[in-house]
Structure 1
Amino acid sequence: MTTILRRLPPSEATGLRTGARHSLAELYRPRDLVVLGLGVMIGAGIFSIAGQQAATTAGPGVLLSFMIAGIASLLACLCYAELSSTMPTSGSAYTFTYVIFGEVWAWVIGWALILELQLAAAVVARAWGGLTVTAISNFGIKLPGEALVEDLLVFGILVLLTGIVALGARVGLRALWIMVSAKLLAIGAVIVVGLPHIDVANFGDFLVPPKTLPSSPATVLEVFVGESQAFGWFGIFAAASAIAFAYIGFDVVATSAEETVNAPRAVPRGMIRSLVIATVIYLAVALVMVGMVSFTKISVDTPLSSAFRVIGVDWMVHVIDAGAVLGLTTVILVLIVGQTRVLFSIARDGLIPRGLASVSRRYHTPTRVTLLIGFVAIMLAEFVPVLMLQELVVIGALFAFAFVAAGVIVMRRRMPYLERGFQVPLSPLLPALSLVATLWLMVNLRVMTWAWFALWMAFGLLVYLLYGRRHSLLARPRPRSNLDPARGRHRR
Structure 2
Amino acid sequence: MSTILRRLPPDAATGLRTGARHSLAELYRPADLVVLGLGVMIGAGIFSIAGQQAATMAGPGVILSFMIAGIACLLACLCYAELSSTMPTSGSAYTFTYVIFGEVWAWIIGWALILELELAAAVVARAWAIITVRAITGFGVRLPYQNVVEDVFVLLILVALTGTVALNARVGLRALWVMVAAKLLAIGAVIVVGARYVKVANFGDFYAEPKPLTTPAATVLDLVMGQSHAFGWFGVFAAASAIAFAYIGFDVLATAAEETVNASRAVPKGMIRSLVIATIIYLAVALVMVGMIPYTSISRDSPLSSAFRGVGVDWMAHVIDIGAVLGLTTVILVLIVGQTRVLFSIARDGLIPRRLATISRRYHSPTRVTLLIGVVAILLAEFVPVLTLQQLVVIGTLFAFMFVAAGVIVMRRRMPHLDRGFSVPLSPLLPALSLLATLWLLVNLQVLTWVWFALWMAFGLVVYLVYGRRHSLLAAPETLANNHARGRHRR
- TM-score, scaled relative to structure 1: 0.97
What is the aligned length?
484
Kept in 2: contact 1:14–1:21 (CA 8 A): no
By how many angstroms is 1:216 displaced?
A: 1.0
Structure 1, unmatched stretches of 5+, are none
The one-letter amino acid paired with 2:180 is V
Q: Does 1:129 align with 2:129?
A: yes
Separation (CA, whole Å) in 2 of partners of 1:480 and 1:210: 59
What is the match of residue 266 of structure 2? 266
What is the match of residue 302 of structure 2? 302
Equivalent positions of 1:42-441 (< 5 A) are 42-441=42-441
Kept in 1: contact 2:25–2:259 (CA 8 A): yes
The one-letter amino acid paired with 2:127 is A
Separation (CA, whole Å) in 2 of partners of 1:441 and 1:220: 10
What is the match of residue 468 of structure 2? 468
SS in 2 for 1:478: helix
Structure 1 window deviating more from structure 2 (38-47 vs 221-230): it is 221-230
By how many angstroms is 1:18 displaced?
A: 2.8
Structure-2 change in CA distance of 1:319 and 1:21 (3 Å): same
Kept in 1: contact 2:80–2:404 (CA 8 A): yes
Kept in 2: contact 1:60–1:204 (CA 8 A): yes
By how many angstroms is 1:281 displaced?
A: 0.1
Separation (CA, whole Å) in 2 of partners of 1:209 and 1:54: 13
What is the match of residue 14 of structure 2? 14
Structure 2, unmatched stretches of 5+, are none
SS in 1 for 2:25: coil
What is the match of residue 25 of structure 1? 25
Kept in 1: contact 2:14–2:89 (CA 8 A): yes
The one-letter amino acid paired with 2:183 is K
Separation (CA, whole Å) in 1 of partners of 2:441 and 2:387: 20
Separation (CA, whole Å) in 1 of partners of 2:358 and 2:288: 48
% identity of equivalent residues: 81
The one-letter amino acid paired with 2:34 is V
The one-letter amino acid paired with 2:360 is S
By how many angstroms is 1:477 displaced?
A: 3.7
Structure 1 window deviating more from structure 2 (14-23 vs 214-223): it is 14-23
SS in 2 for 1:197: coil
Equivalent positions of 1:454-465 (< 5 A) are 454-465=454-465
By how many angstroms is 1:21 displaced?
A: 8.3
By how many angstroms is 1:478 displaced?
A: 2.0
The one-letter amino acid paired with 2:6 is R
Structure-2 change in CA distance of 1:232 and 1:480 (3 Å): closer
Separation (CA, whole Å) in 2 of partners of 1:174 and 1:62: 35
SS in 1 for 2:56: helix
The one-letter amino acid paired with 2:298 is I
Kept in 2: contact 1:44–1:324 (CA 8 A): yes
Separation (CA, whole Å) in 1 of partners of 2:477 and 2:32: 40
Separation (CA, whole Å) in 2 of partners of 1:299 and 1:65: 19
Kept in 2: contact 1:23–1:364 (CA 8 A): no
The one-letter amino acid paired with 1:140 is G
The one-letter amino acid paired with 1:116 is E
SS in 2 for 1:426: coil
Separation (CA, whole Å) in 1 of partners of 2:137 and 2:345: 43
Separation (CA, whole Å) in 1 of partners of 2:320 and 2:18: 47
Structure-2 change in CA distance of 1:21 and 1:5 (3 Å): farther
User: What do residues 259-311 of structure 1 show as CA deviations (whole Å, max 9, x unaligned)?
Assistant: 00000000000000000000000000000000001110000000000000000
Structure-2 change in CA distance of 1:381 and 1:194 (3 Å): same
Kept in 2: contact 1:15–1:21 (CA 8 A): no
SS in 2 for 1:301: coil
By how many angstroms is 1:479 displaced?
A: 7.8
Kept in 1: contact 2:402–2:438 (CA 8 A): yes
The one-letter amino acid paired with 1:361 is R
SS in 1 for 2:300: coil
The one-letter amino acid paired with 2:209 is P
User: What do residues 115-159 of structure 1 show as CA deviations (whole Å, max 9, x unaligned)?
Assistant: 000000000000000000110111111101000001000100000
SS in 1 for 2:276: helix
User: What do residues 25-60 of structure 1 show as CA deviations (whole Å, max 9, x unaligned)?
Assistant: 101000000000000000000000000000000000
SS in 1 for 2:478: coil
Kept in 2: contact 1:401–1:438 (CA 8 A): yes
By how many angstroms is 1:350 displaced?
A: 0.2
Separation (CA, whole Å) in 1 of partners of 2:116 and 2:191: 31
Structure 1 window deviating more from structure 2 (21-30 vs 356-365): it is 21-30
SS in 1 for 2:435: helix
Kept in 1: contact 2:41–2:249 (CA 8 A): yes
By how many angstroms is 1:22 displaced?
A: 6.6
Kept in 2: contact 1:350–1:472 (CA 8 A): yes
Kept in 2: contact 1:166–1:366 (CA 8 A): yes
Separation (CA, whole Å) in 2 of partners of 1:64 and 1:15: 42
Structure 1 window deviating more from structure 2 (21-30 vs 139-148): it is 21-30
User: What do residues 333-384 of structure 1 show as CA deviations (whole Å, max 9, x unaligned)?
Assistant: 0000000000000001000000000000011100000000000000000000
Kept in 2: contact 1:351–1:467 (CA 8 A): yes
Structure-2 change in CA distance of 1:479 and 1:45 (3 Å): closer
- TM-score, scaled relative to structure 2: 0.97
Structure-2 change in CA distance of 1:347 and 1:183 (3 Å): same
Structure-2 change in CA distance of 1:301 and 1:3 (3 Å): same
